[in-house]
Structure 1
Amino acid sequence: MKLVVLTGIPGSGSSTLLGKALDSVDYVHLNYGDIMTEIAIKENIVQDRDALRKLSAEIQKEIQAKAAKEIKQRSEKDNVIVDTHCTINTPSGFLPGLPIWVLEELKPDLFILIEADPDEIIFRRLNDDTRVRDTQKAKDIQLHQEMNRATSMAYATLTGATVKILYNHDNHLDSSVSKLVDVLNL
C-alpha cells in the first residue's frame, strides 16, 4: 500500500484537484487536521477543530503524533493520500507542517506539491467567499511555494520519498486532474 502526502498553499487548487482525482483512483483521503480533531474530541480535549490551535504546543504535538500513527495504520491496508500543509506561513516565519516525529511515523512514499502562478492564486483567493485569508503580494505567494519546494525536499531526504510538482493553471483543470491521477497510479 502507498502513503502519499498532497499539499499546496491556499488558492493553489489542491483540494479541488484531489476531490476530482479521487473519483478515478483507489485511495482513501485523510485530512491531517481532521484526524487530529477526531482524536482530540474522542479524548475530550476539544469540542471542535478551531479549539485545536488554542491548545498548548505540547498537547498539539501529542495529538499530532497520535494522528500520524493512526494514518500510518490506515495505510497498511489501503492506499492513503494525506491532505495537509507542507509549511505554514506564520507572522514569525515559515513553520514546517510535518515535523520529524510525524515523518518518522508516516514514512510516506511520495510528496505531491500542487502549484499555480501567483496571480492565479491571488485571483482564486479573492473569489473564495468560503474563507477569510490575508492579502498577499505575488512575491510573497511565490516565496511560500518556494519554501514548500525546499521543505518537501528536506522531508524527502529524511524519508526516502520522492517529490512531484504538479501545476494547476486556470482553464486546465481536466489536464491537471489527469496528471495527478497518472502520478497516483504509478
Structure 2
Amino acid sequence: MKMGIVTGIPGVGKTTVLNNVAEILKAEGRVFKIMNYGDYMLNTAIRDGYVNNRDEMRKLPLSKQKELQTIAAKRIVDDALSLGDNGLAFIDTHAVIRTPSGYLPGLPKHVIEVLSPQVIFVLESNPQDILNRQLKDKDRIRSDYSDINVITETMNFARYAAMASAVLVGASVKVIINKEGDPKIASKEIVNSMM
C-alpha cells in the first residue's frame, strides 16, 4: 500500500481535487481509498461530546486536539492496510491548523510516524481564489480565514510544516497548484506522483 497525504488550507479545493482523483482511479480499475482526517477526528470528538461540528475542533485545547489526532492516525492506518500491497491510500487533511493559540501542526511527529506516507502533497491556489471559495461555502464557518494576509501566511506555514513532517519519515513533498476552474490538472498530477 502506498499512502499520499493531500494537505492545503480550508477553501483550497482538496475535496474537489480528491473527488477527481477518485474518478481517475476508478476509471483505471485501481484499488484505493480516500480518507478525510478531519472526519476520523470529528467522529471521535462528537462521540465523546467535545464538539458539535468540524469547525469547533480548531477551538479545542491543544492537548485534546493532539489526542484526537493520534486516535485518527491509528484508525486511518488500519483502514489503509486493508487495501493490500497494490492499494493507494489518500488522506485529505491540513499541514497546519490555525488555532487561538497559534498554528498547530496537522502532521506532528506523533501522527506522521504512525501514518508514514510516501508523499505529502501541498495543494495551493491563488489566495484571492481561496477567499472567494470560502465565501461561497455556506456549509462551513471559516471567519478565521477571511483575510488575504491570513490565507497567505497559513499557506506559507503549511509548506514549512509539510517539509518538517516529511523529514521525520523520509517522505517527499510536492506542491500542486489547483488552478481555478480546472481541478483535474491537480488531480492528474497527484495520481501520476503516486504511481
**Corresponding residue number in structure 1 for 2:100:** 91
How do residues 109-124 of structure 1 correspond to structure 2 at under 5 angstroms?
109-124=118-133
Per-residue CA deviation, residues 16-62 of structure 1 (Å, 9 max, x unaligned), is: 11111112223211111222344456xx5238653883866545433
**Corresponding residue number in structure 2 for 1:176:** 186
- Tell me if 1:46 matches 2:43: no
Per-residue CA deviation, residues 61-102 of structure 1 (Å, 9 max, x unaligned), is: 334322212222222232211111110112332111122111
Alpha-carbon distance in structure 1 between the residues aligned to 2:188 and 2:66: 36
**Corresponding residue number in structure 2 for 1:71:** 76
Amino acid of the residue matched to residue 96 of structure 1? P
Stretch deviating more after TM superposition (7-16 or 58-67): 58-67
Output the TM-score relative to the length of structure 2. 0.81
Alpha-carbon distance in structure 2 between the residues aligned to 1:136 and 1:38: 27
Q: Percent identity?
A: 35
User: Quick one: structure 1 residues 3 and 116, their matched pair in 2 at CA, closer, same or farther if it must change by over 3 Å?
Assistant: same
**Corresponding residue number in structure 1 for 2:168:** 158
Contact 1:87 1:148 in 2 (8 A): yes
**Residues matched between the structures, number:** 183
Contact 1:9 1:145 in 2 (8 A): yes
**Corresponding residue number in structure 2 for 1:8:** 8
- Tell me if 1:20 matches 2:20: yes
Alpha-carbon distance in structure 2 between the residues aligned to 1:84 and 1:13: 11
Any gaps of 5 or more consecutive residues in structure 1? none
User: Quick one: structure 1 residues 125 and 3, their matched pair in 2 at CA, closer, same or farther if it must change by over 3 Å?
Assistant: same
**Corresponding residue number in structure 2 for 1:34:** 39
**Corresponding residue number in structure 1 for 2:142:** 133
Contact 2:20 2:183 in 1 (8 A): no
Q: Which runs of 4+ in 1 moved over 6 A?
A: none
Amino acid of the residue matched to residue 105 of structure 2? P
**Corresponding residue number in structure 1 for 2:28:** none
Given the alignment, which residue of 69, 94, 117 partners 1:108? 117
User: Quick one: structure 1 residues 48 and 138, their matched pair in 2 at CA, closer, same or farther if it must change by over 3 Å?
Assistant: closer
Alpha-carbon distance in structure 2 between the residues aligned to 1:64 and 1:108: 16
- For the aligned residue pairs, the C-alpha RMSD in angstroms reads 2.4
User: Quick one: structure 1 residues 157 and 122, their matched pair in 2 at CA, closer, same or farther if it must change by over 3 Å?
Assistant: same
Alpha-carbon distance in structure 1 between the residues aligned to 2:45 and 2:136: 33
Contact 1:34 1:49 in 2 (8 A): no
Output the TM-score relative to the length of structure 1. 0.85
